[in-house]
């Protein structure tokens, strides 16, 4: 009887040890998931703000600022608390929203760059996400979140491709000054910038739909 009791005690102890191991692993995993979620939320929020700035600055230079774009980016700029926050940008947004359509048209005429003057676009990255890509399995219980994060990554790559295209045409405006090809280079640069703005808007909406 004592032998059976000893064996039972060993089995119970072994089971408790295994159970403790799984509990510890689960607690660690949940902590890592919370940390990763917080990190990515900050990084994606920064990207969303930067895309909002792209929309407002590039549309001003193109002379295509419109009320719909301003209404899209206003909540993002207002809520942003990062190191790049600008009260001046927010004031400009609010003044534009309070302006009449006629005033916005007049503003576009003033802000639009002269014909032939190119727009320099910047690429953006999400380095923390790229570094932690292998840890997306922590969100295995939330496949929607995994999918949304990867969609933003794809969208950002598409945005950066358009930046490369805009830069290519910008270089052509300087290197190819023939009467025939120069206007085509200018048109290509403008078209690439407009597509980049539209991609920035898509990214803004995609990030806004993420439920952290």
Provide the domain limits for residue 156: 38-115+124-209
Please, what is the average pLDDT of the chain? 90
Q: Which pair of structure tokens corresponds to residue 2?
A: 């004592």
**Does 93 reside within a domain?**
yes
Instruction: Output the CA–CA distances (angstroms, integers) from residue 71 to 7, 93, 98, 124, in the order listed.
Output: 71, 9, 11, 23
Average pLDDT over residues 60-83: 96
Residue 179 DSSP one-character state: T
**Structure confidence at residue 195 (pLDDT):** 98
Of 58, 41, 43, whose CA–CA distance to 201 is shortest?
A: 58
Contact 155, 129 (CB under 8 A): no
Task: Identify which of 13-22, 46-55, 178-187 has the greatest average pLDDT.
Answer: 46-55
Average pLDDT over residues 58-79: 96
Instruction: Output the CA–CA distances (angstroms, integers) from residue 120 to 36, 54, 97, 168, 192, in the order listed.
Output: 33, 11, 26, 11, 11
Of 40, 42, 104, 45, whose CA–CA distance to 69 is shortest?
A: 104
**Structure confidence at residue 4 (pLDDT):** 64
Q: At what angle do helices 143-175 and 181-209 cross, to 10 degrees?
A: 160
**Does 19 reside within a domain?**
no
**Does 46 reside within a domain?**
yes
Q: Is 41 strand, coil or helix?
A: helix
Q: Which of 67-76, 80-89, 134-143, 171-180 has the lowest mean pLDDT?
A: 171-180
User: Looking at the 3D structure of the chain, how many domains does it have?
Assistant: 1
**Structure confidence at residue 29 (pLDDT):** 83
- pLDDT-based confidence at residue 207 (cuts at 50, 70, 90): very high
Q: Is 144 exposed, middle or buried (0-12, 13-18, 19+ CB in 10 A)?
A: exposed
**Does 5 reside within a domain?**
no
């Amino acid at each position: 009887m004592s032998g059976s009791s000893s064996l039972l005690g060993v089995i119970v102890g072994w089971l408790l040890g295994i159970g403790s191991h799984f509990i510890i692993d689960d607690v660690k995993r949940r902590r890592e998931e919370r940390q990763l979620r917080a990190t990515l939320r900050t990084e994606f929020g920064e990207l969303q703000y930067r895309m909002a700035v792209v929309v407002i600055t590039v549309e001003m230079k193109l002379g295509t600022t419109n009320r719909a774009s301003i209404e899209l980016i206003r909540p993002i700029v207002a809520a942003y608390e990062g190191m790049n926050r600008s009260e001046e940008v927010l004031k400009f947004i609010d003044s534009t929203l309070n302006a009449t359509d006629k005033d916005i048209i007049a503003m576009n005429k003033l802000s639009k760059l002269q014909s032939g003057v190119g727009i320099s676009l910047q690429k953006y990255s999400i380095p923390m996400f790229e570094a932690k890509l292998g840890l997306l399995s922590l969100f295995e219980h939330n496949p929607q979140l995994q999918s949304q994060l990867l969609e933003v990554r794809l969208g950002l790559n598409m945005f950066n491709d358009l930046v490369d295209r805009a830069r290519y045409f910008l270089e052509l405006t300087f290197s190819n000054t023939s009467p025939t090809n120069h206007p085509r280079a200018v048109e290509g640069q403008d078209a690439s910038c407009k597509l980049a703005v539209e991609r920035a808007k898509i990214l803004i909406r995609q990030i806004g739909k993420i439920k952290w």
